[in-house]
Amino acid sequence: MNKLTLSLLSALSLCSIAAQAQEGTDLIKRGEYLTQAADCVACHTTKQGKPFAGGLAFKTPMGTLYSPNITADKETGIGNWTDEEFIRALHEGKGKEGEHLYPAFPYTSYTLLNDDDIRAIKAYIFSLPTVHQPNRENDMPFPFNQRWGMWFWNLVNFEGKRFEPDPAKDAEWNRGAYYVEALGHCGECHTPRNITMGMKDSKPYAGSEIDGWTAFNITSDKHAGIGSWSQDQIVEYLRSGHINGKAQAAGPMAEVIENSTRHLTDADLRAMAKYLQSLKPLNPDNETKSRSDFGQATASVDAIRGLPFKADNTADGARLYLGNCATCHSFSGGGTADGYYPSLIKNSVVGATAPNNMINVILHGVSRRTNEGDVFMPGFADTLSDEQIATLSNYLLQQFGQKSLNVKVNDVKELREK
């Protein structure tokens, strides 16, 4: 073999190594994007914890679950998992030893993912720094602590299958369906649950309650859902969490936008919007008016500006609004012209048929990071009593929302405890 041949072979070998390295880099980059789309960090990271190290508590009617460490640590994480074991977990809801996983891990949606995307997600997670953090034991009473019982749950609520494109739809619609149904697993929050805590197939995306927050109806119904939203408005909401005069994200949805959807491309967000617009309209409560069509400007606070408090230091709703809300949301409730401080008029949180999201926002505030900057509203849990928040809530409902609702002190107390 002459020197020229050796040189050519050496060059080809180097090219092959470079190509493999580039392929690995591309796989990890693709995996990062898919991991963001799937919002894995939200469930596997505590508020002050390290990314993907687990330990986040999920309080369910069956007990408390703690998310596991999914970093590549070989002792406390999933560093010893093979690609096939990782794929099986997402497709079948089974752990490394074949044990059943609980459906707080949304394998009921991830089962739709294709193998290549799951491998990319694993490659990205394994490229991150490992975290040595032992998993917390679940706190579940008998019989819910018996994992074998999940066999019966799966029999009723789980159908393991991969995503199959609809040949009658175009590529954009099918991509949107894949992102909404599989990666984004949107139905896990927005679909009501049956008595066994499985998703109600008869009411997909008709709305549900998660940890005291309402995940709203996102079907194409014009009154109960988002049928009046344009494609551009859906894209803007998924990107920023804000549509002036319609909706502002808080609580778990704000986390979804911060961790996940704001990172997606416009093309993927448009595909998701197209799919959401095609969902069957559902209106289980026979709503006749959209939750973003309530409210009008108020002048009720003008009459009390500058007047002293009552002798017993109590305050009515208008005075509480003036002292705690008007500076940002304006005296009339119209917010600011740029929409940074949202209007309470035609506000989907205040106009909702249940007041829990509004109460939660008053209690805990809003914290949402977007591509344009941070959105912040302080919470009043430490400065207002349950009675004051109930009084303020009822004032907001009477002025800007569902006048038929009546918030009681115990309603606030229960949400505060959650």
Task: Give domain status of residue 1, yes or no.
Answer: no
Tokens of 97: 């030893």
pLDDT at 12: 59
Provide φ and ψ at 256, rounded to 5°. -60, -45
In DSSP notation, 85-137 reads HHHHHHHH-B-TTSPBPPTTS-HHHHTTS-HHHHHHHHHHHHHSPP---PPPP
What is the pLDDT, as a whole number, of residue 297? 77
Q: Is residue 283 part of a domain?
A: no
With respect to residue 284, please indicate whether it lies within any of the assigned structural domains.
no
Q: Is residue 5 part of a domain?
A: no
Token representation of residue 184: 């984004």
Same domain, 195 and 232: yes
DSSP label at residue 169: S
Report pLDDT for 301. Answer: 61
Q: Give me the domain span that covers residue 352.
A: 302-417
User: What is the predicted pLDDT for the residue at 201?
Assistant: 85
Residue 312 inside a domain? The answer is yes
- Tell me what pLDDT residue 303 has: 56
pLDDT at residue 132, rounded to an integer: 98
Residue numbers of the chain with a pLDDT score lower than 70? 1-23, 299-315
The pTM assigned to this predicted structure is: 0.89
- Whether the CB-CB separation of 225 and 282 falls below 8 Å is answered with yes
Is residue 396 one of the residues assigned to a domain?
yes
Residues 371 and 246 in one domain: no
Whether residues 189 and 257 share a domain: the answer is yes
